[in-house]
């Protein structure tokens, strides 16, 4: 538990992936790798027709990159490898032939916004505010940017990126298209998720696969694009500016 986990449960052709980390569900490299592996595996699992992606806990969906791992990066290769973990999760979601439903119960920061953007249909509670804080620590949302922009558009993406220290409400995120619907309570959200996932589990798998391909058209170059973006972040994280900014955030 102290290092976090990724758990998968399958029931009635609905598979739920749950991730957890004690630091507000932040995403160290090990959890990113497990998430990408789980999504890819379920994509070919005959007992899975729809996937739910969620995190544990009540108030934080995902705090994004692990600051402990960020500050430990000491060369470009390690930096690129770390940020490639986010690329792997996004690309796994993109390539998975099954629809992925997101469950966002609380705040999403940085990479957490990227994960919410990479699913195919996302529900949230009214507590699920969003923030792209990367610029405030000396980098930018380079890897998650394509997924976020695809979902909410360039204008909204720019607002999140430039005003990097301010939260945008769940209602704002729903208005921009990140969330399909918001709910006052997690219980109400879970009821909606169960209803939709049950409907999808009885739908034509081939039709859903073909629809997903259509929804993600134009992203076929993302394997290369996100690798290039990971290199950008991996280089910037080595700068004195970024190291000082991260240490200031950690000390808060």
Q: Would you say residue 56 lies in a domain?
A: yes
Q: Would you say residue 160 lies in a domain?
A: yes
Q: Write out pLDDT tens, residues 118-165.
A: 999 999 999 999 999 999 989 999 999 999 999 999 999 999 999 999
Q: Is 168 helix (H, G, I), strand (E, B) or coil?
A: strand
Q: How far apart are CA 198 and CA 86, in angstroms?
A: 29
Neighbours of 56 (CB within 10 A): 17
Q: What is the CATH number of the domain that holds 145?
A: 3.90.226.10
Query: What pTM, to 2 d.p., does this model score?
Result: 0.95
Using an 8 Å Cβ cutoff, are 64 and 151 in contact?
Answer: no
Compute and round to an integer the Cα radius of gyration of the chain.
17
Q: Would you say residue 35 lies in a domain?
A: yes
Q: Would you say residue 48 lies in a domain?
A: yes
Please give the residue range of the domain that contains residue 165. Answer: 5-187
Using an 8 Å Cβ cutoff, are 104 and 50 in contact?
Answer: no
Domain count for the chain, please give it.
1
Q: Write out pLDDT tens, residues 19-74.
A: 999 999 999 999 999 999 999 999 999 999 999 999 999 989 999 998 889 889 99
Q: Would you say residue 202 lies in a domain?
A: no
């Amino acid at each position: 538990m102290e290092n976090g986990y990724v758990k998968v449960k399958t029931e009635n052709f609905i598979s739920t992936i749950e991730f957890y980390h004690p630091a507000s569900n932040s995403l160290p490299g090990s959890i990113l790798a497990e998430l990408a592996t789980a999504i890819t595996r379920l994509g070919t699992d005959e007992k899975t027709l729809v996937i739910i992606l969620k995190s544990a806990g009540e108030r934080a969906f995902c705090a994004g990159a692990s600051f402990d791992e960020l500050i430990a990066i000491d060369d470009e290769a390690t930096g690129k490898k770390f940020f490639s973990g986010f690329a792997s999760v996004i690309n796994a979601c993109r390539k998975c032939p099954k629809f992925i439903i997101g469950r966002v119960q609380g705040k999403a920061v940085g990479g957490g916004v990227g994960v919410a953007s990479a699913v195919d249909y996302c529900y949230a509670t009214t507590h699920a505010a969003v923030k792209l804080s990367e610029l405030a620590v000396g980098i930018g949302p380079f890897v998650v940017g394509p997924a976020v922009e695809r979902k909410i558009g360039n204008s909204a993406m720019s607002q999140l990126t430039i005003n990097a220290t301010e939260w945008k409400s769940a209602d704002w995120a729903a208005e921009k298209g990140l969330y399909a619907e918001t709910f006052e309570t997690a219980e109400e959200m879970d009821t909606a998720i169960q209803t939709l996932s049950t409907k999808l589990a009885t739908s034509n798998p081939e039709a859903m696969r073909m629809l997903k391909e259509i929804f993600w058209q134009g992203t076929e170059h993302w394997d290369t694009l996100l690798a290039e973006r990971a290199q950008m972040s991996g280089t910037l994280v080595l700068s004195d500016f970024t190291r000082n900014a991260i240490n200031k955030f950690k000390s808060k």
